[in-house]
A and B are shown apart, each in its own frame.
Chain A
Amino acid sequence: MAQTKVIALTGNQAAAEAMRQINFDVAAVYPISPQTELMGFFAEYVANGEVDTEMIAVDGEHSAMATCIGAAAAGARTITASAGPGIAYMVENLYVASGMRVPMVLLDVNRALSAPLSIHCDHADSMLTRDTGWISIFSENAQEAYHNIIMSVKISEKAMFPIIVNYDGYIVSHSIEDVEILDDETVRDFVGPSDIHRIPYPLLDTDKPVTYGATAQPDYYTECKYQQHVDFLKVYDVVREVFDEFAQIIGKRYDFIEEYKTEDAEYIGISMGSSFGTLKDAVDRLREQGKKVGAIKIRLYRPFPVKEIAQALSKAKGVVVLDRADSFDGIGGPLFKDIASALLATENNPFVHNFIYGLGGREIHEEEFMRAFDRLERLEKGIETRENFVEYLQVRE
Protein backbone atom coordinates (compact mmCIF):
# COMPACT_ATOMS: atom_id res chain seq x y z
CA MET A 1 0.00 0.00 0.00
CA ALA A 2 1.20 3.46 -0.88
CA GLN A 3 1.89 6.29 1.55
CA THR A 4 -0.84 8.87 1.87
CA LYS A 5 -1.20 12.18 3.61
CA VAL A 6 -4.48 13.59 4.81
CA ILE A 7 -5.25 17.14 3.71
CA ALA A 8 -8.42 19.19 4.15
CA LEU A 9 -9.59 19.92 0.62
CA THR A 10 -12.74 20.86 -1.26
CA GLY A 11 -13.88 18.52 -4.04
CA ASN A 12 -12.57 20.94 -6.64
CA GLN A 13 -9.20 21.19 -4.88
CA ALA A 14 -8.95 17.40 -4.66
CA ALA A 15 -9.81 17.11 -8.37
CA ALA A 16 -7.22 19.76 -9.28
CA GLU A 17 -4.67 17.86 -7.16
CA ALA A 18 -5.39 14.66 -9.11
CA MET A 19 -5.03 16.59 -12.37
CA ARG A 20 -1.68 18.01 -11.23
CA GLN A 21 -0.37 14.58 -10.26
CA ILE A 22 -1.51 12.95 -13.50
CA ASN A 23 0.09 15.85 -15.41
CA PHE A 24 -2.24 15.88 -18.40
CA ASP A 25 -0.80 16.97 -21.76
CA VAL A 26 -3.80 19.09 -22.75
CA ALA A 27 -6.70 20.73 -20.90
CA ALA A 28 -9.19 22.73 -23.00
CA VAL A 29 -11.67 24.55 -20.81
CA TYR A 30 -14.43 27.09 -20.61
CA PRO A 31 -15.61 28.29 -17.20
CA ILE A 32 -19.03 27.55 -15.72
CA SER A 33 -20.14 27.28 -12.09
CA PRO A 34 -19.40 25.15 -10.11
CA GLN A 35 -16.51 23.95 -12.32
CA THR A 36 -14.85 27.39 -12.68
CA GLU A 37 -13.00 27.13 -9.38
CA LEU A 38 -11.57 23.72 -10.30
CA MET A 39 -9.95 25.06 -13.45
CA GLY A 40 -8.87 28.14 -11.50
CA PHE A 41 -6.88 25.93 -9.13
CA PHE A 42 -5.46 23.97 -12.03
CA ALA A 43 -4.55 27.16 -13.94
CA GLU A 44 -2.37 28.09 -10.97
CA TYR A 45 -0.43 24.85 -11.32
CA VAL A 46 0.00 25.58 -15.04
CA ALA A 47 1.11 29.16 -14.39
CA ASN A 48 3.58 28.04 -11.72
CA GLY A 49 5.10 25.46 -14.04
CA GLU A 50 4.13 22.58 -11.76
CA VAL A 51 2.64 20.69 -14.71
CA ASP A 52 3.51 20.40 -18.40
CA THR A 53 -0.12 20.83 -19.45
CA GLU A 54 -1.02 22.92 -22.48
CA MET A 55 -4.06 24.73 -21.10
CA ILE A 56 -6.28 26.10 -23.85
CA ALA A 57 -8.97 28.66 -22.98
CA VAL A 58 -11.65 28.23 -25.64
CA ASP A 59 -14.83 30.12 -26.58
CA GLY A 60 -17.37 27.61 -25.27
CA GLU A 61 -17.91 24.03 -24.20
CA HIS A 62 -18.63 22.82 -27.73
CA SER A 63 -15.18 24.07 -28.73
CA ALA A 64 -13.65 22.70 -25.53
CA MET A 65 -14.77 19.21 -26.47
CA ALA A 66 -13.75 19.69 -30.12
CA THR A 67 -10.28 20.78 -28.99
CA CYS A 68 -10.01 17.80 -26.66
CA ILE A 69 -11.03 15.41 -29.44
CA GLY A 70 -8.26 16.74 -31.68
CA ALA A 71 -5.70 16.56 -28.89
CA ALA A 72 -6.76 13.07 -27.82
CA ALA A 73 -6.73 11.81 -31.42
CA ALA A 74 -3.17 13.10 -31.66
CA GLY A 75 -2.31 10.97 -28.62
CA ALA A 76 -2.26 13.65 -25.93
CA ARG A 77 -3.51 12.73 -22.46
CA THR A 78 -6.46 15.09 -22.36
CA ILE A 79 -8.97 16.46 -19.86
CA THR A 80 -11.77 18.98 -19.72
CA ALA A 81 -14.42 19.84 -17.16
CA SER A 82 -17.83 21.41 -17.22
CA ALA A 83 -21.22 21.49 -15.54
CA GLY A 84 -24.94 21.78 -16.26
CA PRO A 85 -25.62 23.86 -19.38
CA GLY A 86 -21.96 23.53 -20.37
CA ILE A 87 -22.39 19.76 -20.60
CA ALA A 88 -25.57 20.31 -22.61
CA TYR A 89 -23.64 22.47 -25.07
CA MET A 90 -20.98 19.74 -25.36
CA VAL A 91 -23.33 16.87 -26.12
CA GLU A 92 -22.97 16.86 -29.92
CA ASN A 93 -19.21 16.44 -29.62
CA LEU A 94 -19.51 13.83 -26.86
CA TYR A 95 -20.91 11.46 -29.48
CA VAL A 96 -18.04 12.37 -31.80
CA ALA A 97 -15.47 11.53 -29.11
CA SER A 98 -16.94 8.12 -28.28
CA GLY A 99 -17.53 7.29 -31.96
CA MET A 100 -13.90 8.12 -32.76
CA ARG A 101 -12.85 6.08 -29.71
CA VAL A 102 -10.51 8.74 -28.35
CA PRO A 103 -9.58 8.31 -24.68
CA MET A 104 -10.01 11.39 -22.49
CA VAL A 105 -11.44 12.50 -19.17
CA LEU A 106 -14.39 14.86 -18.65
CA LEU A 107 -15.15 16.06 -15.14
CA ASP A 108 -18.84 16.83 -14.72
CA VAL A 109 -19.35 18.91 -11.60
CA ASN A 110 -23.05 18.10 -11.55
CA ARG A 111 -25.36 21.08 -11.93
CA ALA A 112 -29.04 21.55 -12.77
CA LEU A 113 -30.24 22.64 -16.20
CA SER A 114 -32.21 25.80 -16.97
CA ALA A 115 -35.04 26.96 -16.84
CA PRO A 116 -35.38 28.21 -14.20
CA LEU A 117 -31.69 28.91 -13.98
CA SER A 118 -29.93 27.11 -11.15
CA ILE A 119 -26.22 26.79 -10.54
CA HIS A 120 -26.78 24.14 -7.87
CA CYS A 121 -26.56 20.39 -7.92
CA ASP A 122 -28.69 17.79 -9.57
CA HIS A 123 -27.93 15.07 -12.09
CA ALA A 124 -29.88 16.39 -15.11
CA ASP A 125 -26.64 17.33 -16.87
CA SER A 126 -25.16 13.89 -16.45
CA MET A 127 -28.33 12.28 -17.75
CA LEU A 128 -27.74 14.07 -21.05
CA THR A 129 -24.57 12.03 -21.36
CA ARG A 130 -26.03 8.62 -20.54
CA ASP A 131 -26.54 7.54 -24.18
CA THR A 132 -23.43 9.20 -25.60
CA GLY A 133 -21.21 6.12 -25.42
CA TRP A 134 -19.00 7.56 -22.67
CA ILE A 135 -18.06 5.57 -19.60
CA SER A 136 -19.57 7.33 -16.59
CA ILE A 137 -18.59 7.12 -12.93
CA PHE A 138 -20.21 8.86 -9.95
CA SER A 139 -18.35 10.05 -6.87
CA GLU A 140 -19.91 10.36 -3.42
CA ASN A 141 -17.34 12.74 -1.94
CA ALA A 142 -14.05 14.51 -2.60
CA GLN A 143 -12.07 11.37 -1.75
CA GLU A 144 -13.90 9.33 -4.34
CA ALA A 145 -13.66 12.12 -6.90
CA TYR A 146 -9.89 12.16 -6.37
CA HIS A 147 -9.60 8.37 -6.70
CA ASN A 148 -12.02 8.19 -9.65
CA ILE A 149 -10.07 10.76 -11.65
CA ILE A 150 -6.82 8.82 -11.22
CA MET A 151 -8.50 5.54 -12.18
CA SER A 152 -10.45 7.12 -15.04
CA VAL A 153 -7.29 7.90 -17.02
CA LYS A 154 -6.35 4.24 -17.05
CA ILE A 155 -9.88 2.95 -17.67
CA SER A 156 -10.32 5.31 -20.61
CA GLU A 157 -6.99 4.49 -22.23
CA LYS A 158 -7.38 0.74 -21.80
CA ALA A 159 -10.97 0.68 -23.07
CA MET A 160 -10.36 3.31 -25.79
CA PHE A 161 -13.52 5.12 -24.74
CA PRO A 162 -13.79 8.59 -23.20
CA ILE A 163 -14.88 8.74 -19.56
CA ILE A 164 -16.92 11.10 -17.40
CA VAL A 165 -16.22 11.48 -13.70
CA ASN A 166 -19.21 13.02 -11.92
CA TYR A 167 -19.18 14.75 -8.55
CA ASP A 168 -21.95 16.86 -7.08
CA GLY A 169 -21.69 20.61 -7.58
CA TYR A 170 -21.18 22.65 -4.38
CA ILE A 171 -22.11 19.74 -2.09
CA VAL A 172 -18.86 18.00 -3.04
CA SER A 173 -17.07 20.60 -5.17
CA HIS A 174 -17.08 23.39 -2.58
CA SER A 175 -17.27 21.54 0.75
CA ILE A 176 -14.09 20.88 2.67
CA GLU A 177 -13.35 17.39 3.90
CA ASP A 178 -10.33 15.28 4.80
CA VAL A 179 -8.88 13.70 1.68
CA GLU A 180 -6.15 11.08 1.62
CA ILE A 181 -3.72 12.18 -1.07
CA LEU A 182 -1.28 9.74 -2.65
CA ASP A 183 2.26 10.85 -3.39
CA ASP A 184 2.99 12.13 -6.90
CA GLU A 185 5.20 9.22 -7.85
CA THR A 186 2.58 6.61 -6.98
CA VAL A 187 -0.02 8.36 -9.14
CA ARG A 188 2.38 8.82 -12.06
CA ASP A 189 3.48 5.19 -11.88
CA PHE A 190 -0.14 4.07 -11.81
CA VAL A 191 -1.27 6.04 -14.86
CA GLY A 192 2.02 5.41 -16.69
CA PRO A 193 3.74 7.68 -19.22
CA SER A 194 1.77 9.56 -21.84
CA ASP A 195 2.95 8.31 -25.20
CA ILE A 196 1.13 9.01 -28.47
CA HIS A 197 1.48 5.35 -29.41
CA ARG A 198 -0.83 4.42 -26.54
CA ILE A 199 -3.53 4.85 -29.19
CA PRO A 200 -3.61 2.78 -32.38
CA TYR A 201 -3.91 5.62 -34.91
CA PRO A 202 -2.21 8.82 -33.70
CA LEU A 203 -3.50 11.71 -35.78
CA LEU A 204 -0.10 13.37 -36.22
CA ASP A 205 1.83 10.23 -37.16
CA THR A 206 2.83 11.49 -40.60
CA ASP A 207 4.38 8.15 -41.54
CA LYS A 208 0.96 6.54 -41.29
CA PRO A 209 -1.58 9.21 -42.21
CA VAL A 210 -5.19 8.51 -41.20
CA THR A 211 -8.57 10.18 -41.51
CA TYR A 212 -10.60 10.79 -38.35
CA GLY A 213 -14.28 11.68 -38.66
CA ALA A 214 -14.92 10.39 -42.17
CA THR A 215 -18.43 9.94 -43.53
CA ALA A 216 -20.08 6.53 -43.25
CA GLN A 217 -22.80 5.85 -45.77
CA PRO A 218 -25.76 3.56 -44.99
CA ASP A 219 -23.64 0.57 -46.09
CA TYR A 220 -21.13 1.16 -43.25
CA TYR A 221 -22.78 3.12 -40.40
CA THR A 222 -24.43 0.08 -38.80
CA GLU A 223 -21.17 -1.89 -38.73
CA CYS A 224 -19.32 1.06 -37.16
CA LYS A 225 -21.96 1.38 -34.43
CA TYR A 226 -22.07 -2.37 -33.85
CA GLN A 227 -18.33 -2.43 -33.27
CA GLN A 228 -18.74 0.41 -30.75
CA HIS A 229 -21.59 -1.55 -29.12
CA VAL A 230 -19.54 -4.73 -28.78
CA ASP A 231 -16.48 -2.91 -27.47
CA PHE A 232 -18.53 -0.94 -24.94
CA LEU A 233 -19.64 -4.23 -23.37
CA LYS A 234 -15.95 -5.01 -22.78
CA VAL A 235 -15.68 -1.92 -20.58
CA TYR A 236 -16.98 -3.87 -17.54
CA ASP A 237 -13.84 -6.03 -17.53
CA VAL A 238 -11.55 -3.05 -18.03
CA VAL A 239 -13.12 -1.18 -15.11
CA ARG A 240 -12.86 -4.28 -12.92
CA GLU A 241 -9.17 -4.69 -13.80
CA VAL A 242 -8.36 -1.06 -13.01
CA PHE A 243 -10.37 -1.15 -9.75
CA ASP A 244 -8.36 -4.26 -8.77
CA GLU A 245 -5.07 -2.64 -9.61
CA PHE A 246 -5.96 0.51 -7.70
CA ALA A 247 -7.03 -1.56 -4.68
CA GLN A 248 -3.42 -2.65 -4.29
CA ILE A 249 -2.42 0.98 -3.88
CA ILE A 250 -5.14 2.28 -1.59
CA GLY A 251 -5.94 -0.97 0.26
CA LYS A 252 -9.66 -0.66 -0.46
CA ARG A 253 -11.50 -2.17 -3.40
CA TYR A 254 -14.10 -0.20 -5.29
CA ASP A 255 -16.98 -2.05 -6.95
CA PHE A 256 -19.45 -1.09 -9.64
CA ILE A 257 -22.01 -0.66 -6.87
CA GLU A 258 -21.67 -0.18 -3.13
CA GLU A 259 -24.04 -2.15 -0.92
CA TYR A 260 -24.96 -1.11 2.61
CA LYS A 261 -26.79 -3.56 4.90
CA THR A 262 -28.46 -5.22 1.91
CA GLU A 263 -27.76 -8.82 2.93
CA ASP A 264 -31.03 -9.40 4.81
CA ALA A 265 -32.81 -6.26 3.56
CA GLU A 266 -36.44 -6.44 2.47
CA TYR A 267 -36.53 -2.87 1.24
CA ILE A 268 -33.62 -1.29 -0.60
CA GLY A 269 -33.02 2.35 -1.52
CA ILE A 270 -30.77 3.24 -4.47
CA SER A 271 -29.04 6.56 -5.10
CA MET A 272 -25.97 8.07 -6.74
CA GLY A 273 -23.52 10.75 -5.66
CA SER A 274 -23.31 12.73 -2.43
CA SER A 275 -26.74 11.78 -1.05
CA PHE A 276 -25.63 8.21 -0.34
CA GLY A 277 -24.28 9.19 3.09
CA THR A 278 -27.70 10.56 3.98
CA LEU A 279 -29.32 7.40 2.65
CA LYS A 280 -27.07 5.25 4.84
CA ASP A 281 -28.04 7.39 7.86
CA ALA A 282 -31.71 6.84 7.00
CA VAL A 283 -31.06 3.09 6.81
CA ASP A 284 -29.34 3.14 10.22
CA ARG A 285 -32.27 4.94 11.85
CA LEU A 286 -34.81 2.59 10.29
CA ARG A 287 -32.72 -0.39 11.39
CA GLU A 288 -32.92 0.97 14.97
CA GLN A 289 -36.70 0.78 14.56
CA GLY A 290 -36.35 -2.85 13.52
CA LYS A 291 -36.95 -2.30 9.81
CA LYS A 292 -35.00 -4.55 7.47
CA VAL A 293 -33.72 -1.94 5.03
CA GLY A 294 -30.57 -1.45 2.99
CA ALA A 295 -29.02 0.90 0.46
CA ILE A 296 -27.15 0.68 -2.83
CA LYS A 297 -24.95 3.31 -4.45
CA ILE A 298 -24.26 3.25 -8.16
CA ARG A 299 -20.59 4.01 -8.79
CA LEU A 300 -20.28 2.82 -12.40
CA TYR A 301 -23.26 4.38 -14.18
CA ARG A 302 -22.30 3.64 -17.80
CA PRO A 303 -22.03 0.90 -18.81
CA PHE A 304 -24.77 0.11 -16.30
CA PRO A 305 -23.96 -2.69 -13.80
CA VAL A 306 -26.96 -4.81 -14.79
CA LYS A 307 -25.73 -8.12 -13.35
CA GLU A 308 -24.54 -6.61 -10.07
CA ILE A 309 -27.86 -4.79 -9.55
CA ALA A 310 -29.86 -7.91 -10.42
CA GLN A 311 -27.81 -9.90 -7.91
CA ALA A 312 -28.09 -7.26 -5.18
CA LEU A 313 -31.88 -7.04 -5.61
CA SER A 314 -32.44 -10.79 -6.04
CA LYS A 315 -34.04 -11.12 -2.58
CA ALA A 316 -35.60 -7.69 -2.05
CA LYS A 317 -39.35 -7.26 -1.58
CA GLY A 318 -39.32 -3.61 -2.53
CA VAL A 319 -36.94 -1.13 -4.15
CA VAL A 320 -37.11 2.65 -4.01
CA VAL A 321 -35.06 4.38 -6.68
CA LEU A 322 -33.97 7.89 -5.74
CA ASP A 323 -33.43 10.02 -8.83
CA ARG A 324 -31.71 13.40 -8.69
CA ALA A 325 -33.21 14.29 -12.10
CA ASP A 326 -36.63 14.01 -13.70
CA SER A 327 -37.25 12.56 -17.15
CA PHE A 328 -40.64 14.15 -17.90
CA ASP A 329 -41.78 11.11 -19.82
CA GLY A 330 -44.64 9.62 -17.81
CA ILE A 331 -42.48 6.69 -16.71
CA GLY A 332 -40.00 7.86 -14.08
CA GLY A 333 -36.51 9.20 -13.48
CA PRO A 334 -33.55 7.98 -15.56
CA LEU A 335 -32.11 5.78 -12.80
CA PHE A 336 -35.53 4.25 -12.15
CA LYS A 337 -35.71 3.01 -15.73
CA ASP A 338 -32.17 1.63 -15.54
CA ILE A 339 -32.99 -0.27 -12.35
CA ALA A 340 -36.33 -1.51 -13.69
CA SER A 341 -34.51 -2.83 -16.78
CA ALA A 342 -31.77 -4.47 -14.70
CA LEU A 343 -34.46 -6.32 -12.74
CA LEU A 344 -35.27 -8.25 -15.93
CA ALA A 345 -32.02 -10.10 -15.26
CA THR A 346 -33.29 -11.66 -12.02
CA GLU A 347 -36.13 -14.10 -11.25
CA ASN A 348 -37.11 -11.87 -8.34
CA ASN A 349 -39.88 -9.39 -9.02
CA PRO A 350 -39.72 -6.71 -6.31
CA PHE A 351 -42.11 -3.79 -6.06
CA VAL A 352 -40.28 -0.76 -7.49
CA HIS A 353 -41.10 2.84 -6.69
CA ASN A 354 -39.42 6.05 -7.78
CA PHE A 355 -38.83 9.37 -5.99
CA ILE A 356 -37.35 12.53 -7.45
CA TYR A 357 -35.31 14.49 -4.88
CA GLY A 358 -32.58 17.08 -4.53
CA LEU A 359 -33.37 19.10 -7.66
CA GLY A 360 -31.49 22.36 -8.18
CA GLY A 361 -29.43 21.83 -5.02
CA ARG A 362 -32.37 21.16 -2.67
CA GLU A 363 -30.93 19.83 0.59
CA ILE A 364 -31.84 16.24 1.39
CA HIS A 365 -32.36 15.01 4.95
CA GLU A 366 -32.46 11.49 6.33
CA GLU A 367 -36.09 12.01 7.48
CA GLU A 368 -37.06 12.49 3.84
CA PHE A 369 -35.34 9.29 2.74
CA MET A 370 -37.00 7.53 5.70
CA ARG A 371 -40.33 8.77 4.37
CA ALA A 372 -39.43 7.30 0.96
CA PHE A 373 -38.82 3.89 2.55
CA ASP A 374 -42.07 4.20 4.50
CA ARG A 375 -44.07 4.98 1.36
CA LEU A 376 -42.40 2.06 -0.45
CA GLU A 377 -43.35 -0.34 2.34
CA ARG A 378 -46.97 0.85 2.44
CA LEU A 379 -47.27 0.57 -1.34
CA GLU A 380 -45.70 -2.88 -1.35
CA LYS A 381 -48.05 -4.10 1.38
CA GLY A 382 -51.05 -2.63 -0.39
CA ILE A 383 -51.85 -0.19 2.45
CA GLU A 384 -51.50 2.71 0.05
CA THR A 385 -51.93 2.96 -3.71
CA ARG A 386 -50.18 5.01 -6.37
CA GLU A 387 -51.20 6.67 -9.61
CA ASN A 388 -47.72 6.77 -11.09
CA PHE A 389 -44.41 4.98 -10.64
CA VAL A 390 -42.77 8.31 -9.88
CA GLU A 391 -43.44 10.88 -7.16
CA TYR A 392 -41.62 13.95 -5.86
CA LEU A 393 -40.14 13.62 -2.38
CA GLN A 394 -39.68 17.25 -1.33
CA VAL A 395 -42.51 19.37 -2.68
CA ARG A 396 -44.20 22.12 -0.64
CA GLU A 397 -47.94 21.63 -0.95
Chain B
Amino acid sequence: MSYQLKPWHQIPIGSIVPEAGSSKVNHTGSWRMLRPVLNYDKCTHCLICWIFCPDDSIPVSPQERFETDFEYCKGCGICAVECPYDALEMVPEMEIKLKELEEEIG
Protein backbone atom coordinates (compact mmCIF):
# COMPACT_ATOMS: atom_id res chain seq x y z
CA MET B 1 0.00 0.00 0.00
CA SER B 2 1.54 3.30 -1.02
CA TYR B 3 1.02 6.51 0.91
CA GLN B 4 -0.33 9.19 -1.38
CA LEU B 5 -2.09 12.33 -0.13
CA LYS B 6 -5.67 12.53 -1.41
CA PRO B 7 -7.42 15.78 -2.36
CA TRP B 8 -10.37 16.80 -0.14
CA HIS B 9 -13.08 15.47 -2.47
CA GLN B 10 -11.58 11.98 -2.54
CA ILE B 11 -11.66 11.53 1.23
CA PRO B 12 -14.51 9.18 2.25
CA ILE B 13 -17.43 10.97 3.92
CA GLY B 14 -16.95 11.40 7.66
CA SER B 15 -13.17 10.91 7.33
CA ILE B 16 -13.66 7.19 7.76
CA VAL B 17 -11.00 4.71 6.68
CA PRO B 18 -12.64 2.27 4.29
CA GLU B 19 -9.91 -0.41 4.15
CA ALA B 20 -9.20 -2.98 6.83
CA GLY B 21 -5.62 -3.27 8.09
CA SER B 22 -4.71 0.20 6.88
CA SER B 23 -2.41 0.75 9.86
CA LYS B 24 0.19 -1.36 7.99
CA VAL B 25 0.94 1.77 5.95
CA ASN B 26 2.12 3.51 9.08
CA HIS B 27 5.63 2.24 9.84
CA THR B 28 5.67 3.01 13.55
CA GLY B 29 9.13 1.43 13.92
CA SER B 30 10.55 4.84 13.05
CA TRP B 31 9.35 6.13 16.44
CA ARG B 32 11.64 3.69 18.34
CA MET B 33 14.25 5.08 20.76
CA LEU B 34 15.06 1.77 22.49
CA ARG B 35 15.38 -1.56 20.71
CA PRO B 36 14.49 -4.87 22.39
CA VAL B 37 17.58 -7.01 21.74
CA LEU B 38 16.86 -10.71 22.22
CA ASN B 39 19.37 -13.04 23.88
CA TYR B 40 18.61 -16.36 22.18
CA ASP B 41 20.53 -18.30 24.84
CA LYS B 42 18.10 -17.16 27.53
CA CYS B 43 14.88 -17.27 25.46
CA THR B 44 12.73 -20.34 26.17
CA HIS B 45 10.10 -19.48 23.52
CA CYS B 46 7.41 -19.27 26.19
CA LEU B 47 5.71 -16.59 23.99
CA ILE B 48 4.77 -14.36 26.95
CA CYS B 49 6.30 -11.37 25.08
CA TRP B 50 4.00 -12.15 22.14
CA ILE B 51 0.95 -12.07 24.45
CA PHE B 52 1.90 -8.67 25.86
CA CYS B 53 3.17 -6.88 22.73
CA PRO B 54 0.59 -4.10 22.11
CA ASP B 55 1.63 -3.70 18.47
CA ASP B 56 1.57 -7.33 17.38
CA SER B 57 5.23 -6.92 16.40
CA ILE B 58 6.51 -10.30 17.58
CA PRO B 59 6.09 -12.98 14.92
CA VAL B 60 5.75 -16.49 16.33
CA SER B 61 4.92 -20.04 15.44
CA PRO B 62 3.36 -22.35 18.07
CA GLN B 63 6.88 -23.45 19.02
CA GLU B 64 9.13 -20.52 18.32
CA ARG B 65 9.62 -16.81 18.89
CA PHE B 66 11.16 -15.13 15.84
CA GLU B 67 13.01 -11.82 15.68
CA THR B 68 10.90 -8.74 16.48
CA ASP B 69 9.34 -6.94 13.49
CA PHE B 70 11.25 -3.65 13.64
CA GLU B 71 9.09 -2.07 10.91
CA TYR B 72 6.37 -1.70 13.57
CA CYS B 73 8.01 -2.18 17.02
CA LYS B 74 7.80 1.21 18.79
CA GLY B 75 10.29 0.16 21.46
CA CYS B 76 7.83 0.49 24.34
CA GLY B 77 9.77 -2.11 26.37
CA ILE B 78 6.75 -4.05 27.65
CA CYS B 79 8.26 -7.30 26.32
CA ALA B 80 11.49 -6.69 28.25
CA VAL B 81 9.56 -6.03 31.47
CA GLU B 82 7.32 -9.09 31.09
CA CYS B 83 10.01 -11.60 29.99
CA PRO B 84 10.39 -14.10 32.90
CA TYR B 85 13.93 -15.04 31.77
CA ASP B 86 15.44 -11.56 31.28
CA ALA B 87 16.07 -12.49 27.67
CA LEU B 88 15.33 -9.00 26.34
CA GLU B 89 17.49 -5.95 26.83
CA MET B 90 16.42 -2.47 25.79
CA VAL B 91 19.36 -0.91 23.97
CA PRO B 92 19.33 2.71 22.71
CA GLU B 93 18.87 2.79 18.93
CA MET B 94 21.65 5.37 18.73
CA GLU B 95 24.21 2.93 20.19
CA ILE B 96 23.18 0.24 17.71
CA LYS B 97 23.25 2.66 14.80
CA LEU B 98 26.72 3.92 15.81
CA LYS B 99 28.04 0.37 16.13
CA GLU B 100 26.66 -0.51 12.70
CA LEU B 101 28.31 2.60 11.26
CA GLU B 102 31.68 1.77 12.87
CA GLU B 103 31.55 -1.75 11.44
CA GLU B 104 30.78 -0.35 8.01
CA ILE B 105 33.72 2.06 8.12
CA GLY B 106 35.94 -0.63 9.65
Contacts and interface: CB of A to CB of B under 8 A. Distances in A.
Co-assembled chains A and B: yes
Contacts of A209: 20
B14 A100 contact: yes
A41 interface: no
B24 to A, nearest CB: 13
A280 to B, nearest CB: 41
B11 A208 contact: no
Interface stretch (A29-37, A213-221, A252-260, A364-372): A213-221
Contacts of B98: none
Contacts of B7: 223
Contact of B18 (A99, A102, A208): A208
A210 B18 contact: yes
Contacts of A212: 14, 16
B11 A101 contact: no
Interface string A83-111: 00000000000000001111000000000
B96 interface: no
Contacts of B12: 200-201, 210
Interface in B6-40: 6-9, 11-18, 20, 22
B22 A101 contact: no
B16 A227 contact: no
B101 interface: no
Contacts of A230: 8
Contacts of A223: 6-8, 11
A99 to B, nearest CB: 7
Given A100-B14, A100-B16, A101-B14, 15 more contacts: A102-B14, A201-B13, A201-B14, A210-B16, A210-B18, A211-B17, A214-B15, A214-B16, A220-B5, A223-B6, A223-B8, A224-B11, A227-B8, A227-B11, A227-B15
Interface of A: 99-102, 160, 200-201, 208-212, 214, 216, 219-220, 222-224, 226-227, 230-231
